[in-house]
Amino acid sequence: MMSLVPLLKTVMRPVMDYALPPRCPGCGAIVGADHGFCLDCWSGMRFLGPPCCARCGLPFEHEMGEGACGACLAQPPLFDSARAVLAYGDVARTVALRLKYGRRIGLARLVAGQMLRHVPAEMEGALIVPVPLHRWRLWGRGFNQSALIADHLGRLTGLAVDKHGLRRVKRTQPLRGMNPKQRAQAVRGAFALGADHGLAGRVIWLVDDVHTSGATAAACAKLLKAGGAREVHLLCWARALPRTEPRTGDD
């Protein structure tokens, strides 16, 4: 019976595409394949990667080797690196909003697939840890978008996912509109390690949806390293570049 499943999917796919055609995650226009962006949205997306700061991932105008940016040299962040798929903009925001508030949980697979290019193939033994939600937000929303992304990333990479290594023990106000000092203060004491975290000597991929000031990532990285993690690498869907401020709200 199980051998018939692929055949049924092949036979039924044209019918499903006719009844429910694939649509662009950014604008809803009909596209040729699931999780594919239309040309207009694609052209408006700024993918991030080299050349960039080796530590925080801030894009450079031209190749500068493996060095860090001035801010990271002056005050190195608590995480070992940060990478994001996109610069925060209209399309990145729309996808984040539809996933987080529109309950389009299938977009978590799209996000994880795009994140994959930032995960080196030689990361065997690394552990994926999503940024947790406070229980009240989790009960209200019904899911943690970072955990959904982490699950898909774990399946794509074969790496273990630990959704209990970090806990959010204090509900924080949305960080939007706060300056870096206020953000750091807001998340102080907001996280705790899980009882059986098993972090000693591990390389951690910390997964979140949007990277703004880095206050949340810093608080998580500090705890993970206190628990014995050897390295902590932040991996996000979108990163706010200077002079951009996400409007998705912060969890």
* Cα angle 38-42-44, degrees, rounded to a multiple of 5: 125
The arrangement of secondary structure in 46-239, i.e. its CATH architecture, is 3-Layer(aba) Sandwich (3.40)
**141-176: pLDDT as tens digits:** 999 999 999 999 999 999 999 999 899 998 887 777
**206-251: pLDDT as tens digits:** 999 999 888 999 999 999 999 999 999 999 999 999 865 566 655 5
**121-145: pLDDT as tens digits:** 777 789 999 999 999 888 889 999 9
- Looking at 14-18, 111-115, 171-175, which range is the least confident one? 14-18
CB atoms within 10 A of CB 58: 18
**58-85: pLDDT as tens digits:** 999 887 777 889 999 999 999 999 999 9
Instruction: Please tell me the distance from the alpha carbon of residue 150 to that of residue 237, in angstroms, as a whole number.
Output: 11
* Cα angle 75-80-85, degrees, rounded to a multiple of 5: 105
Instruction: Please tell me the distance from the alpha carbon of residue 133 to that of residue 169, in angstroms, as a whole number.
Output: 9
195 phi and psi, to 5 degrees? Answer: -65, -45
205 phi and psi, to 5 degrees? Answer: -100, 110
**Average pLDDT along the chain:** 86
Domain boundaries, given as residue ranges, for the chain: 1-43, 46-239
The answer on pLDDT for 10 being more than 70 is: no
- What H or E segment, with its residue span, contains residue 114? helix 107-115
Strand spans (E) along the chain? 81-87, 127-130, 160-161, 166-168, 191-193, 203-211, 231-239
* Cα angle 177-173-25, degrees, rounded to a multiple of 5: 70
Instruction: Please tell me the distance from the alpha carbon of residue 103 to that of residue 40, in angstroms, as a whole number.
Output: 24
**pLDDT for the residue 244:** 58
Residue 46 neighbours by CB under 8 Å, 6+ apart? 86, 87, 89
Instruction: Please tell me the distance from the alpha carbon of residue 4 to that of residue 6, in angstroms, as a whole number.
Output: 6
**48 close to 85: Cβ distance less than 8 angstroms:** yes
